[in-house]
Amino acid sequence: MNTPTARPRRFPFRRVVILPVAALLALALCKEPRLLADDPAVSLVSAVPGTFMGFSQPSPLTFTFAGPVRSVTVTGQGAISCSGDQGTLTGYDSAGHAIGSVSLHLIDPADCSPEDNPDNVTFGATATLVTTGVMAKAILSPMSLLEFPVFDLVGHASQDYTVELGVGTAPPATLSVTCDASVTRGNDVKCTASVDPRQPFVVTERHAAGAGYSFTSAERIESDGAPYEWSGKAVLDTHVSITVAVTQNGAETPLAPGTADFTVIARTGPEWTGLKIQSTAPAPEYVSGAPLADNPFPTVGSLLAPDGATGKYQQTITYRWGTVGGGPNTNLVYTRAPATVEASRIFIHAWLLSDSRFYKAQRGNSNPILGQRDCNGADIDRLRNNVIAHETLHYSEDKKFFDTHDVQAALEAAHAPFHVSQLGQPGSDDALKAARDAASDAAFGTAWKAVAETAVDTGHPVDTPSCRAAKP
């Protein structure tokens, strides 16, 4: 940085006090800004309202720069009190954010009260502000004492500032990524990428990974230097990695990726535990259509029926799923709110009732002499009771499962991948259902099916009477 070539001289205060204010102001306003620059790449664009400050012009001075200015020195010349603050120089980046500040100090404190003239007045104050980021402007606030006693007179402050600019040394840019340390599932988690020193950058890649989960986005997001925030619903413990490149004059310089982690806390409370099946078995509902086959006995002459044609047990859970559309857990389905269970139902085919035409058509002799006998009402009664017993066993195993497993808590943590960009596109509905099924199956459905469905069907099949059924 260049330095002034001539040693500053003390400015006799008497000249200050005797100069008319108007003359001083005119002097200041007529002067071109005085600039010393160590690099042609930087320049002082303007000084508003000028370079003079003091009793007659107490407003702050705003210096606007061009180029990569990282160093500013202001040096005052005039007369000021040695007491009080001499003003503050603050630098701002192109977005208007303050990036550095320094107080002015007296250039020659020994000049304040020499033995031959103890007037507590000196000629000037100075300061050098160095920032890591580029300054677009700097503002100099006024000295605190614009008017001050000098022996038995009154002195008025006056400073005409020389501005020296420098490009300084650009420190290496570094990327730091932070995330909320822990977040309750379903709440927003925020991860922040910051470049230091502050400067324009572009996010070039975001990656998040957790157990069975991975998301990568190469979408480019530009920043004027403000920290980039990546936020969205939190679902599972996640490791986050963000890559950026700093941008200057159209060129991009990639930085080392920044990483951070966050932990997801399960939601707790009475609503998030203890999903239960009703305590008493549901009464059979007799139907002849959905959810059963209309004709339960397609094999003519036999009471053999396809699985579930004569009876079904139905359990209904109302899930409340959410989908994460942004943030570091993008593309996940999860349980947004507690699930509820509806009343269980047992459906029995109405043809098994004694007043049905099918039932009445079974008029066989219960004591055949030879061969397979024809079915009679007692056979249908037995089949009906067996079907009811079978479906009730599904219910009791279902209830037992829910009594011994905290399904609600398992659902609280349930999640599965789903690409939200599919929503509204062909096939998305099926894909979303598949994701939800995968989440609930992993939480409890697969285990439930083994116990409440498969084990009952294989261990306790419906005992079907062996007789020849008549057509209704």
Q: Distances from the Cα of 133 to the Cαs of 40, 93, 155, 163, 432, in angstroms?
A: 18, 7, 39, 19, 47
Residue 177 or 309: the one with the smaller Cβ distance to another protein is 309
Q: Give CA–CA dist 426/417, Å, rounded.
A: 18
Question: Under DSSP, is residue 335 helix (H, G, I), strand (E, B) or coil?
Answer: strand
Q: Which of 117, 217, 241, 288 binds another protein (CB under 8 A)?
A: 288
What is the sign of the dihedral through the CA atoms of 423, 424, 425 and 429? positive
Q: How far apart are CA 204 and CA 195, in angstroms?
A: 13
Q: How many CB atoms lie within 10 A of CB 133?
A: 25
Does residue 74 interact with another protein by CB under 8 A? no
- 433 lies in the site for another protein, by CB under 8 A: yes
Residue of 29, 306, 421, 446 that binds another protein (CB under 8 A)? 306
Residue 389 contacts another protein per CB under 8 A: no
The verdict on 430 binding another protein (CB under 8 A) reads yes
**3-state DSSP assignment of residue 219:** coil
| CA end-to-end distance (rounded Å), the chain | 109
| Cα torsion 167, 171, 174, 176: sign | negative
**Is 195 or 456 the residue whose CB approaches another protein more closely?**
456
Task: Rule CB under 8 A: say whether 403 interacts with another protein.
Answer: no
Q: Pick the closest to residue 153 from 9, 10, 11, 15 (CA basis).
A: 15
Candidate ranges 4-12, 81-89, 124-132, 304-312; the one touching another protein (CB under 8 A) = 304-312
Among 83, 231, 241, 302, binds another protein (CB under 8 A): 302
Residue 396 interacts with another protein (CB under 8 A): yes or no: no
- 32 or 355: whose CB is closer to another protein? 355
> Among 4, 118, 298, 368, which residue sits at the site for another protein (rule: CB under 8 A)?
298
Cβ atoms of 2 and 38 within 8 Å: the answer is yes
* Sole binder of another protein in the list 291, 343, 368, 378 (CB under 8 A): 291
Q: Which stretch binds another protein (CB under 8 A): 50-58, 78-86, 167-175, 452-460?
A: 452-460
Q: Which of 17, 112, 170, 304 binds another protein (CB under 8 A)?
A: 304
Task: Please report where in the chains the tokens 């006056």 appear, as a residue.
Answer: 158
CB closer to another protein out of 198 and 312: 312
Residue 344 CB contacts under 8 Å (≥ 6 apart), including other chains? 277, 278, 281, 282, 313, 314, 315, 316, 395, 398
How many whole angstroms separate alpha carbon 333 and alpha carbon 336?
Answer: 9
Per-residue contact flags (x/-) with another protein for residues 109 to 138, judged by CB under 8 A: ------------------------------
- Minimum CB separation of residue 317 from another protein in Å reads 5
Q: Which of 313, 334, 402, 418 binds another protein (CB under 8 A)?
A: 313
Rule CB under 8 A: choose which of 300, 365, 367, 370 binds another protein: 300
3-state secondary structure (DSSP) of residue 304: coil
Binding mask 350-379 for another protein (x = CB under 8 A): ------xxx---------------------
Contact status: 311 vs another protein (CB under 8 A):
yes
CA distances from 26 to 12, 31, 120, 140, 245 (A): 20, 9, 27, 20, 49
Among positions 199-238, residues that touch another protein (CB under 8 A) are none
Among 78, 124, 200, 445, which residue interacts with another protein (rule: CB under 8 A)? 445
Give the whole-angstrom CA distance, residue 90 versus residue 113: 30
* H or E, element range at 164: strand 158-166
Q: Tell me which residues touch another protein (CB under 8 A).
A: 288-295, 298-302, 304-309, 311-319, 356-358, 391, 394, 423-424, 426-430, 432-434, 436, 445, 448-449, 452-453, 456-458, 461-462, 464, 466, 471-472
